Amino acid sequence: MASDPTLLVAAGVVVEAGLVLLSQRKAGGHLAGLWEFPGGKVALHEDPREALRRELAEELGLAVYVGEIVDVTFHRYDDHARPILLLFFEATRRPGSPAPRALDVAAFAWVGPDELDESLFPEADRCVVQKVRDRLRSVVVRG
Instruction: Please enumerate in sequence order all residues whose Cβ is within 8 A of that of 51, keeping only pairs 6 or more positions apart, or say none.
Output: 10, 39, 40, 41, 42, 43
CA dihedral 100, 6, 42, 110 (to 10 degrees): 10
pLDDT digits (tens, 9 = 90+) for 72-101: 999 887 765 688 999 999 999 999 999 999
pLDDT at 3: 58
Distance CA 88, CA 12 (A): 6
Residues 136, 112, 21, 77, CA torsion sign: positive
- For 18-24, what is the mean pLDDT? 96
Choices 3.30.365.10, 3.40.50.970, 3.90.79.10, 2.40.10.120: CATH for 7-142: 3.90.79.10
Residues making up the chain, counted from first to last: 143
pLDDT digits (tens, 9 = 90+) for 49-78: 999 999 999 999 999 999 999 999 998 877
pLDDT tops 70 at residue 142: no
Residue 1: pLDDT band with limits 50, 70, 90: very low
- In the chain, what are the domain boundaries? 7-142
Nearest residue to 52 (alpha-carbon basis) of 11, 99, 103: 11
User: Which residues does residue 16 pair with via DSSP β-bridges, in sequence order?
Assistant: 19
